[in-house]
């Protein structure tokens, strides 16, 4: 959790230990740019995907190249994050809703339009920089709700007890 508690010439926040652990916020310096915007109200128009602000982890930029008007970024991420990344799916990088253009077993890529490069902090980032990654929450809900995605440990224990399998 990261909440604005005071504004004026400076902005003050309260931050939870979980946010410190799972984000790159502890690595930020006074001069670093960050993306800030008000929370989405349920009555607002949704122009991208649902970005909750609950960061799933951090990753690092492993590639940055420009092709025409687009800049392609590649991000290394843990398997716990990559499991929810799909081609043409959505991902938030430092709170920016983006579309996935490529994926492999260690990383994924996005294409960023010129407006996003200038309106957010991503244009100033390069190879080696850490970023916050939030996967599309819809994938996490589907995984939770669809049966068969996780082993039934109770069933395994019962089968072991009755001699059908051995651990």
CATH code of 92's domain: 2.40.30.20
Is residue 16, in this structure, part of any structural domain at all?
A: yes
Q: Which domain holds residue 114?
A: 2-37+50-135
Is residue 149, in this structure, part of any structural domain at all?
A: no
What is the DSSP pairing of strand 90-93 with strand 2-6?
Answer: unpaired
Average pLDDT, stretch 68-93?
95
Reduced to 3 states (helix: H, G, I; strand: E, B; else coil), residue 111 is: strand
Structural Rg of the chain based on CA atoms? 19
Backbone torsions φ then ψ of 97, nearest 5 degrees: -75, 120
Is residue 32, in this structure, part of any structural domain at all?
A: yes
Is residue 114, in this structure, part of any structural domain at all?
A: yes
Percent of the chain with pLDDT over 90: 50
Is residue 141, in this structure, part of any structural domain at all?
A: no
pTM of the complete model: 0.78
pLDDT at 166: 66
What total number of domains does the chain contain?
Answer: 1
pLDDT at 124: 94
Is residue 153, in this structure, part of any structural domain at all?
A: no
Is residue 19, in this structure, part of any structural domain at all?
A: yes
pLDDT at 154: 72
158 close to 102: Cβ distance less than 8 angstroms: no
Is residue 86, in this structure, part of any structural domain at all?
A: yes
Average pLDDT, stretch 40-47?
78
């Amino acid at each position: 959790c990261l909440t604005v508690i005071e504004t004026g010439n400076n902005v003050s926040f309260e931050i939870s230990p979980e946010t410190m652990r799972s984000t790159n916020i502890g690595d930020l310096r006074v001069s670093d740019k960050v993306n800030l915007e008000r929370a989405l109200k349920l009555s607002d128009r949704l122009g991208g995907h649902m970005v909750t602000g609950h960061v799933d982890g951090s990753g690092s930029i492993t590639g940055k190249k420009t092709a025409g008007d687009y800049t392609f970024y590649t991000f290394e991420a843990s398997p716990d994050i990559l499991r929810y990344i799909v081609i043409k799916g959505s991902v938030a990088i430092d709170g920016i809703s983006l579309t996935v253009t490529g994926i492999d077993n260690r990383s994924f890529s996005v294409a960023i339009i010129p407006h996003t490069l200038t309106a957010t902090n991503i244009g100033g980032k390069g190879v080696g920089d850490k970023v916050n990654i939030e996967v599309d929450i819809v994938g996490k809900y589907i995984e939770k709700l669809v049966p068969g995605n996780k082993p039934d440990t109770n069933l395994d224990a019962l089968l072991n007890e009755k001699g059908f399998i051995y651990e």
